[in-house]
Amino acid sequence: MRKSLNKTCLIVGAGMAGLTAAAELSACGWEVTILDKGRSVGGRLATRRLGSSRLDHGAQFFTTRSEEFIRAVAGWEMAGWVEPWYSDEGHIRYKGVGGMNALAKHLASPFLVRTETRVQTLAAICDRWQATTESGEVFDADALILTPPAPQAASLLAGLAPDVSATLARINFDPCFALLLTLEGPSLIPAPGYARPADGMIEWLADNTQKGVSEGPAAITVHATGAFTRANLDAPGDEVTRLLLAAAEPFLGSAVTASQLHRWLYAKPPADNYSMCLFSDHIAPVAVAGDAFAGARVEGAWLSGQAAAHRIDRSQ
Ligand SMILES: Cc1cc2nc3c(=O)[nH]c(=O)nc-3n(C[C@H](O)[C@H](O)[C@H](O)COP(=O)(O)OP(=O)(O)OC[C@H]3O[C@@H](n4cnc5c(N)ncnc54)[C@H](O)[C@@H]3O)c2cc1C
């Protein structure tokens, strides 16, 4: 890609798509500013503490299918950031060393990411983008990359890029309850530490201790199915926890010592959109990236972040 000196880009979201776009653009000479509303970088590459245990509660692993991503992941593996967890259906399932969020932290380390900074409104003034945060801070730049899940990006762009906003608003994400548990003793989840029960309620269980992410006897992540989550989205947390605990019981085998329920409102986009990213320069250059555009998985977010960076770089 050509060098673009003195150009600035504002990137909203420090998940896989935003961090990938930041690396790609800064390699092309752009100055990037990354804002994220979360307490940490990573978005759905998320790892939480429950007592002294550590649990991946968003993405559980990732696979590599495209040549470009295979090359990137080989570099991460050499750096000691990721390692194979297990193989299935011809694909290695990679995990983050120290948890999936640790990978995001490595990718973010060259940048000064502004966390706990939620972009509330966008405006385009004299061919430049201006983002105002909920605390009233204003950031501006020549170009903009938005990586929040599509429905959230749609509201930010409403009135500014109506075509892009309307396309984004039509992308429906599946929600997902994630129940995190610690146990008194070992779990009954078989090696290498995951199970996929076909009970209609639970899509996935993982034992973070067997996975090598956590210490302690057992630290379990339970992901509900999209159907169960949608049907119980407004149910009290205690009730959802009770139902999921009952369904997970055959895999536990030891008493639960602590639990925490998390609701991912935008967990998984539909799997069929391969436009790579959306772009408009109607007012000023903006690209929208994320897993909604290149495959509903970590690799899709990475590919989309790359595509958005290339599209923005070409626009100048
Ligand atoms: C429960 C679950 C299980 C999953 N399992 C797998 C798996 O096993 N394998 C796999 O490959 N993928 C899995 N995924 C999908 C994978 O996590 C995503 O595809 C990928 O992480 C998406 O990255 P992204 O950058 O597109 O979006 P995100 O990670 O969602 O990043 C978007 C970022 O934007 C920020 N943001 C949003 N709005 C604003 C705002 N207004 N201002 C500032 N910041 C904002 C958010 O805080 C977030 O950090 C799973 C996801 C979930 C939720």
Token pair, residue 284, equals: 């000023």
Residue ranges around ligand 1 (CB below 6 Å): 12-18, 35-38, 43-45, 58-62, 118-119, 147-149, 152, 176, 178, 223, 264, 267-268, 290-291, 296-298, 300-301
**What's the chain's length in residues?**
316
Query: Distance between CA atoms of 176 and 268, rounded to whole angstroms?
Result: 8
Distance 255 CA to ligand 1 centre (A): 31
Distance 181 CA to ligand 1 centre (A): 22
Distance 300 CA to ligand 1 centre (A): 11
Token pair, residue 36, equals: 């994220």
Pairing type for strands 119-125 and 256-268 reads unpaired
Query: Distance between CA atoms of 224 and 231, rounded to whole angstroms?
Result: 11
Pair (73, 199) in one structural domain: yes
Pair (162, 184) in one structural domain: no
Residue with CA at minimum distance from ligand 1 atom 10: 297
Token pair, residue 21, equals: 């776009």
Q: What b/e string do you get for 28-64 counting C-beta neighbours within 10 Å, with b at 16 or more?
A: bebebbbbbbbebbbbbbbbbebeebbbbbbbbbbbb
Question: What's the pLDDT tens digit per position in 78-131?
Answer: 999 999 999 999 999 999 999 999 999 999 999 999 999 999 999 999 889 999
Whether the predicted pLDDT of 311 surpasses 60: yes
Q: Which domain holds residue 65?
A: 47-101+174-268
Token pair, residue 152, equals: 């959230």
Distance 231 CA to ligand 1 centre (A): 22
Question: What's the pLDDT tens digit per position in 177-213?
Answer: 999 999 999 999 999 999 999 889 999 999 999 999 9
CATH number assigned to the domain comprising residue 135: 3.50.50.60
Structural domains counted in the chain = 2
Pair (189, 79) in one structural domain: yes
Pair (133, 150) in one structural domain: yes
Query: Distance between CA atoms of 268 and 178, rounded to whole angstroms?
Result: 13
Q: What mean pLDDT do residues 294-308 have?
A: 97
Query: How sure is the predictor about 238, in pLDDT bands with cuts at 50, 70 and 90?
Result: very high
pLDDT at residue 297 in the model: 97
Pair (205, 255) in one structural domain: yes
Mutate which of 44, 94, 155, 205 for ligand 1? The one with the most ligand atoms within 8 Å of its CB, which is: 44
Distance 54 CA to ligand 1 centre (A): 19
Contact (Cβ atoms closer than 8 angstroms) between residue 202 and residue 225:
yes
Pair (97, 180) in one structural domain: yes
Percentage with pLDDT > 90 across the chain? 92
Q: Which atom of ligand 1 is nearest to the CA of 153?
A: 38
The residue with greater pLDDT, 21 or 5, is 21
Is 230 domain-assigned?
yes
Is 3 domain-assigned?
no
pLDDT at residue 5 in the model: 56
Question: What's the pLDDT tens digit per position in 240-285?
Answer: 999 999 999 999 999 999 999 999 999 999 988 789 999 999 889 9
Distance 1 CA to ligand 1 centre (A): 27
Pair (181, 131) in one structural domain: no
302: nearest Cα among 38, 45, 30: 45
Residue with CA at minimum distance from ligand 1 atom 44: 36
Query: Distance between CA atoms of 174 and 176, rounded to whole angstroms?
Result: 7
Residues 6+ apart with CB under 8 A from 212: 85, 95
Query: Distance between CA atoms of 228 and 129, rounded to whole angstroms?
Result: 40
CATH number assigned to the domain comprising residue 58: 3.90.660.10
